[in-house]
Amino acid sequence: MKRYLKLLIVLARVNFIRQTAYRPSFILALVGKFLRAILFVAFADAIFRNVPEIAGWTRANIPFLILSLFVLEFLIGIGFHRNLLFFMYEWIDRGEYDYFLVRPVNPIFLTSFRVIDFFDMIPLLGMITIMVWYIVIAHTPLVVVAGYIILLATAYFILFAFALMLSAINFRTLIPTGIGRLYESIGRLNRFPLDVLPKFWRIALFYVVPVAVAGNIPAKFLIGTWSWLQLGYIAGFAVIIFVIAVKFWYYGLRHYSSVA
Amino acid sequence: MTAIKVNNLSKKYEYYKKAPGLLASVRSLFYREKLYTEAVKNVSFSIEEGELVGFLGPNGAGKTTTLKILSGILYPSSGEARVLGYVPWQRKKQYQKQFAIVMGQKNQLWWDLPAMDSFILNKEIYEVPDQQFKATVDELAELLEIKDILDVQVRKLSLGERMKCELIAALLHGPKVLFLDEPTIGLDVVSQQKMREFIKKYNEQKKTTILLTSHYMEDVEALCKRVIIINQGTLIYDGTLEALMDKYVDHKVLTITFTKPVMHDAIVSYGKIEDYSPLRAVIHATNDRVKKAAAEILTKLPVDDILIDEVPVEEVIRKIFTSHVTNSVIASETK
């Protein structure tokens, strides 16, 4: 664990050097990220000025959902999101992926965190700061905050598992864009309060295949509409799906045929 | 002690036939013909510790596939292999820390960063202690004469400089086994020579087992006492370069320049005439007759200069690659 933490720091350092090599690009990317978050918040605010409540979400508690979404989105963006769903295809296509497999490092780790995106790291810190402020002014009990953090981690691993399974397709056939876009389409459903869906879809998406709603759940726990029992269920689901995803990924790796 | 042991190793790739054209592309959405290619067929060999072995074959022979199986990059279809006692495709960390692979046509260094940053990353990945890292980088950079470019972005380096940096990146952790897949490809003659000298010196000093593939016979002649030749996935020769030449070369090359024009008929009895003009001839004379032929030519004909050369290794290898009997194992000489 210590070794991988050290490796993460070294990878972060190397990536930071690389990303700051072109200063205007770095600054513009950061500005873009912040602007996107602000625009989304402004849009949500505009909706709730006209509508008092949407499926239990009000103007007072919708920031928890939006901020949770962005925290999760930036968190996964720092690591596995683009690595598994966009860059991995390029590494395989260029023949560079061979070098990933000869290193004495877990290949899932190396593939998922090869590029650590500081364009998402810095806005993440901003979002966490705002989230902490909201939690404090809402006088949220510490035990609820602890449960919220557990659910954020759970959501992270559910989305990680989903990304792993999709990326394993690259070992059999190279799909340059489809995988990433499919993942984003499903993942971005988390932007919306999915309680608006009919009962059948709510049960399916919250309990059977909670991939699309992983981001909704931490915020629901924070505002008190998701219980500890449900937390236990979703945490267990996350462990199971992650284990399945890892096995599926290694099974796919057996079919890796490299590039001549 | 045996460093590399390969037993009946085979690798079959499956792929889909892709005909050109728009109509064919649309048709392939509904029906595709699956084809197979046997890249490696029942290859067996073993390499002792410290050996530097050339692994030769024409394009598509199965050399790189074999190296990739031995590196754990690919799984074989069947057969066994052990490198330093480990099964490569199990990808055990203890094995991965003891070998390295350099692929001449692929890049492991970070493109936008100085090579040193990639070295530091490799240092952490391979858990190389700080002192060993510094000593190794200093030593190798000195040997390869690239001390002043370690802080230059990789994308600004020439191919030769980049290959040297690739080599250092691969050797930081002091591997016991080194797979070199065309390390001199695309390099100029000076860089090739330096690379060869370095590999030879490194092998002698560190006793690293090296398996080298190359299309340049100069690499093979300069570095390898033993060669393994593979063609169409099948091992067709495994033995010393000397024995290969003895077995397949039955003649020497006489190159003669004359002071006066000489008729074709005057030299036809000395051997097979490869090239003829009235003032110059190239004759292939059999080994048992070459001395007598040279002596007779010198005494009977108006000779300005005469050269007796060995048949180039390249020609021998070319003949083996194109020969119709190469699908079966021809020889397996001991070293």
Among A7, A98, A254, select the one facing B68 at the smallest CB separation.
A98
Mark which of B245, B280, B297 sits at the end of a domain. B245
| Residues B225 and B180 occupy one common structural domain | yes
What is the structure's pLDDT at A211? 67
Find chain B residues with C-beta within 8 A of A8's C-beta.
none
- The predicted model scores a pTM of 0.84
**CB distance from A128 to chain B under 8 Å?**
no
- Residue B316 resides in a domain: no
What domain count does chain B have? 2
ipTM (interface predicted TM): 0.83
Residue that wins the pLDDT comparison between B34 and B197? B197
**Is B110 touching A (CB cutoff 8 A)?**
yes
Asked if B238 and B130 sit in the same domain, the reply is yes
Is B166 part of any domain? Answer: yes
Determine, for residues A99 and B64 on separate chains, whether the beta-carbon distance falls below 8 Å: no
pLDDT surpassing 90 at residue A34: no
Query: Is B67 in CB contact (< 8 Å) with chain A?
Result: no
Looking at the fold, whether B282 and B240 belong to one and the same domain comes out as: no
CA atoms within 13 A on the CB side of B248: 26
Q: Which whole-number Å values give the CA distances from A33 to A27, A83, A127, B78, in the listed order?
A: 10, 18, 11, 51
How many angstroms away from the CA of B111 is the closest CA of chain A?
Answer: 9
* Number of neighbours of residue B327 by Cβ within 10 angstroms: 13
CA atoms within 13 A on the CB side of B157: 27
Q: What is the pLDDT of residues B284-297, one digit of tens each?
A: 998 888 889 999 99
If DSSP codes are grouped into helix, strand and coil, which group holds residue A168? coil
Averaged pLDDT for residues B49-74? 92
Is there a single domain that holds both residue B259 and residue B188? no
**Are B232 and B282 within one domain?**
no
Q: Which residue has the higher pLDDT, B78 or A207?
A: B78
Residue range A142-152: average pLDDT? Answer: 92
| Domain span holding position B305 | 250-309
Angle (CA) A88-A94-A98 rounded to 5° is 70
Do B262 and B156 lie in a common domain?
no
Model confidence band, residue A174 (pLDDT cutoffs 50, 70, 90): low
**Domain at B268, CATH number:** 3.30.70.980
Q: What is the pLDDT of residues B222-231, one digit of tens each?
A: 899 899 999 8
What digits encode the pLDDT tens for the residues B310-325?
888 778 888 777 774 4
Same domain, yes or no, for B73 and B178? yes
Domain boundaries, chain A: 2-253
Cα–Cα distance between A36 and B201 in angstroms, integer? 58
Nearest to B102 by CA among B140, B147, B152, B49: B140
B172 and B292, same domain (yes or no)? no
The end-to-end CA distance of chain B, in Å, is 15
Which H/E stretch holds residue A102? helix A97-102
Query: Do B202 and B294 belong to one domain?
Result: no
Nearest to B96 among A3, A103, A258 (CB): A103
Q: How many C-alpha atoms does B193 have within 13 Å on its Cβ side?
A: 3
Would B317 be classed as within a structural domain? no
Q: Are residues B257 and B238 in the same domain?
A: no
Q: Which of B223, B245, B267 is the last residue of a domain?
A: B245
Give the pLDDT band (50/70/90) at residue B332.
Answer: very low
Residue-wise pLDDT tens digits, A38-84: 888 788 888 888 888 887 788 888 888 888 888 988 899 888 998 99
The CATH number assigned to the domain holding B105 equals 3.40.50.300
Backbone angles phi, psi at A33, to 5 degrees: -65, -45
B124-174 pLDDT tens trace = 999 999 999 999 999 999 988 899 999 999 999 998 899 999 999 999 999
Burial track B251-262 (b if 16+ CB lie within 10 A, e otherwise): bbbbebebeeeb
Written as one letter, the residue type at A106 is N
